[in-house]
Amino acid sequence: MNVHPLPPSAFKGEGMTSQRARDRLAVKLKEEGIRDQRVIDVIRNTPRHHFIDQALHSRAYENTALPIGHGQTISQPWVVARMTEALLEFGTPQKVLEIGTGSGYQAVVLAQVVPQVFTVERIEELLRQARRRFRQLGLTNIRSRHDDGKLGWADEAPFDAIILTAAGDAIPHAVLDQLSPTGVLVAPVGSPSNQTLIRMRGDGQGDFVQEELAAVSFVPLLGGIG
């Protein structure tokens, strides 16, 4: 069960077609190795078509990344599911930081399974649209900020979990410094043509255990604000 399910108004006016398409997507995610039932349930109950342009609505429940303007993309549902599952595996983090709000979809998925989500986006227009979606979906546990996410969100640190949804050569130091000593971080790392999804877990002594989870393809982590 979702900890914070979306209200019925989030689904107002949508036909059964969308729900059936989401049910099919949930089955596909399971077939493709997603194990955490909470994550499957949340994706089944999140209207992804709200996060993309009307012209793409018919493709909202395909397991693909889609353009959201400004050269950015909403991540592939499997990737959102895998990253969320990887963050939850050792227990539910209380405070989660996301770098790269984009459409807001990943933040909304997280906000249904953890108490508090903080999300940072460098492109103001994307953030404005994402905030409108958070409001329309009735979510009150997401805080967002227009800033360079390479700096993290110092005033709210430490975070029990951090997720980056854009890929850099390495995890920015400021971001890693804001992870709690036993926290979990999930991020794509590498060059545009060769990226790996990694997970880092603090051992409580100031060191991290790092694992490689999957080959992925994300937009680049850029510096400064747009």
Residues that bind ligand SAH (CB under 6 A): 72-75, 99-100, 102-103, 105-106, 120-123, 126, 148-150, 165-166, 219, 221-223
Contacts 24+ apart (CB under 8 A), 208-213: 208/176, 213/82, 213/86, 213/186
Closer by beta carbon to ligand SAH, 97 or else 166: 166
**Inter-residue contact 170 to 179 (CB < 8 Å):** no
In the complex, residue closest to ligand SAH by CB: 102
Minimum distance of ligand SAH from residue 49's CB (angstroms): 13
Name which of 9, 2, 5 is nearest 136 in CA terms. 9
Nearer to ligand SAH among residue 75 and residue 160 (C-beta): 75
Question: For ligand SAH, which is the closer residue by CB, 67 or 181?
Answer: 67
Using alpha carbons only, give the angle 93, 98, 103 rounded to the nearest 5 degrees. Answer: 125
Question: Shortest CA distance to 82 belongs to which of 193, 220, 172, 212?
Answer: 212
Q: Both tokens of residue 161?
A: 């979990």
Cα–Cα dist 99/162, whole Å:
8
Whether 217 is catalytic is no
Eight-state DSSP code of residue 6: P
Nearer to ligand SAH, 43 or 126 (CB): 126
User: Which residue in the block uniquely carries the two structure tokens 């990344």?
Assistant: 65
Cβ closest to ligand SAH, residue 67 vs residue 204: 67
CB 151 to ligand SAH: min, Å: 8
87 with 163: CB under 8 angstroms? yes
Instruction: Out of 9, 18, 58, 75, pick the active-site residue.
Output: 75
The least distance separating ligand SAH from the CB of residue 223, rounded to whole angstroms, comes to: 6
Q: How far is the CB of 126 from ligand SAH (least distance, A)?
A: 5
Q: Minimal distance in Å, beta carbon 80 to ligand SAH?
A: 6
Any idea which residues carry the catalytic annotation? Answer: 75
